[in-house]
Structure 1
Amino acid sequence: MFYLIRRITMKIKLIGCHSTMNEVKALKNDGLMDCEFLDFNYHALPAELHKKIQEIIDASQDYDLIVLTYGRCSNTLVDLVSPAVPMLIPTTHDCIGLLMGSNARYLELFCKNTRTYFFSQGWLDYGRTPYDEYLEYVEKYGEKKAGKIIQALYGHYNKAMLIKSVGMEMPDSYYGKLQKIADFFGWEIEEMEGDAGLLNALVRGEKLEDVVFIEPGQPVTLKHFAEGEPT
């Protein structure tokens, strides 16, 4: 169930992460949407990410609608406010739920196997994978200590799940990169089809389940995410 917020001539500012950039670009854009994608490394610095997004929001008050393709993401969106322009945000936990199409689908798969680590094309392109972390720790602490750290962080996982976004090709290089990660950790690899419905709704300016419309001057709160979660 949804209703259309966007008007044909509406100017939209989209603020998103590199993790969803490929999918957003693959969707049809009528030219009235300006997209700004922020470095994936901001995920490790939620306070800095919050500050950066707020700065962009403040500089985007001449638009008709501001769309965020960030989920809750360590509460990064909480307390963001747009003084004069409404915002549209997904209530997913992070980009994984967004690429799956809903919170419900993500929770269903997560509950079936809590030891699954999810990957997407954008994550493999721009993200800091567990194997990347290991190499950083080796350089900083040496192999022995790095192995202990990475085991504590990721030792409970046993599966790498690759989300294949609908309508996007997945070149062999992505499978090679994922295989290298899985071989290092001893994980099995599985694939699943993504669902572009939720992301497409955001890009088109539609309000539906797992999407929240934030009135101008109203701050984003934890309640917005709670209301968007399946009961």
Structure 2
Amino acid sequence: MAYFCYIGCSILMKEVCRAVHQNPARSGRQSVAPTRVDLRFLPAGLHERPKILQQLLQKEIDTVEEYVQLEGQSPLCRETYQALLLGYGLCSEATVGLRARRIPLVVPRAHDCITILLGSKERHQKLFAENSANYWYSSGWIERMLPPGPEREKQLSEKFLQRYGQENLSFLLESESHWQERYCQATLIISQADGVEQNKAYRAYTQNCASHLGWEYREVSSDLTMLTDLLKGAWDPERFLIVQPGSEIIPSFNDQIITTKECTGNV
């Protein structure tokens, strides 16, 4: 049995837990080798501060590797991680510079969690080409972030009013929402990890946001193949980057999204 440690964003927590629960080792299906995965999640929203996210991810990687090294010195320890799995893509270049010390890192060739939810960088690119002015909604984003919509505006209004007063409120709200002008469509990713009633609620929420913003509404189904294959060890090089010890992640500036280079300095 393969033994991995997964480090990922809590945006994908439900999808990850569902995939682990459906592991062949639990279900009895033996079409692929069974795996055991320990899970570690970081808070959502850190992609907005990529330097901080990069530091936290490297700290998590180093902490896991230090634990493995200590466990390896114990005669009672019979197994260790074969790989560290990252539930992140490029993510505003937050994964750039991450180093593998003693254990290989496995990273999806993805721009961000949306690519992972859609199942491939090719599908993400196809949908982006159809409408580049699209804002993505998912159950994880709705539950853990404040996507554009009336709820976001209400919470920001309360925050700005308390901190800066009524006289500055209109200006601050307009300044904060200026970036939304480049979007004209809200697309909900209907997740396989959610039930029918849950998806009805997420659909109603996103439709309300779209109506409030004057955007079109669209929905697509998720494809959790990339995430499932990451967790079960099916790492073909077209979809996953394996970062060997002594290497670090860098952008590839092509359709592969990320690649590696040998570390320089103290590893």
TM-score tier (shorter): 0.7 to 0.9
In the alignment, what sits opposite 2:116? 98
CA drift at 1:136: 4.8
TM-score (normalizing by structure 2): 0.76
In the alignment, what sits opposite 1:134? 153
Contact 1:10/1:32 (CA < 8 Å) preserved in 2?
yes
Is the aligned partner of 1:218 residue 2:247?
Answer: yes
TM-score (normalizing by structure 1): 0.87
SS of the residue corresponding to residue 51 of structure 1 reads helix
Percent of aligned pairs with the same residue?
29
Alignment equivalent of 2:8, drawn from 11, 16, 30: 16
Q: Which runs of 5+ in 1 are unaligned?
A: 1-8
C-alpha RMSD of matched pairs (Å): 2.1
For 1:228 and 1:108, the matched residues in 2 are separated by: 15
For 1:189 and 1:169, the matched residues in 2 are separated by: 21
For 1:90 and 1:182, the matched residues in 2 are separated by: 30
In the alignment, what sits opposite 2:188? 162
Q: How does 1:22-61 map to 2 (within 5 A)?
A: 22-27=14-19, 28-29=22-23, 30=25, 32-61=36-65
Aligned residue pair count = 221
CA drift at 1:133: 4.7
CA drift at 1:228: 1.8
For 1:15 and 1:161, the matched residues in 2 are separated by: 27
Deviations 1:105-129 (A, max 9, x none): 1111111111111111111111231
Single out whichever of 64-73 and 208-217 deviates more from structure 2.
208-217
SS of the residue corresponding to residue 39 of structure 2 reads strand
Is the aligned partner of 1:107 residue 2:131?
Answer: no
Is the aligned partner of 1:125 residue 2:143?
Answer: yes
In the alignment, what sits opposite 1:193? 221
Q: Which runs of 5+ in 2 are unaligned?
A: 26-34, 69-80, 258-267
Contact 2:14/2:193 (CA < 8 Å) preserved in 1?
no
SS of the residue corresponding to residue 220 of structure 1 reads strand
Higher alpha-carbon Rg? 2
Change (3 A) 1:183 1:143: farther
Q: With CA pairs under 8 Å and 6+ residues apart, which has the higher RCO, 1 or 2? A: 1
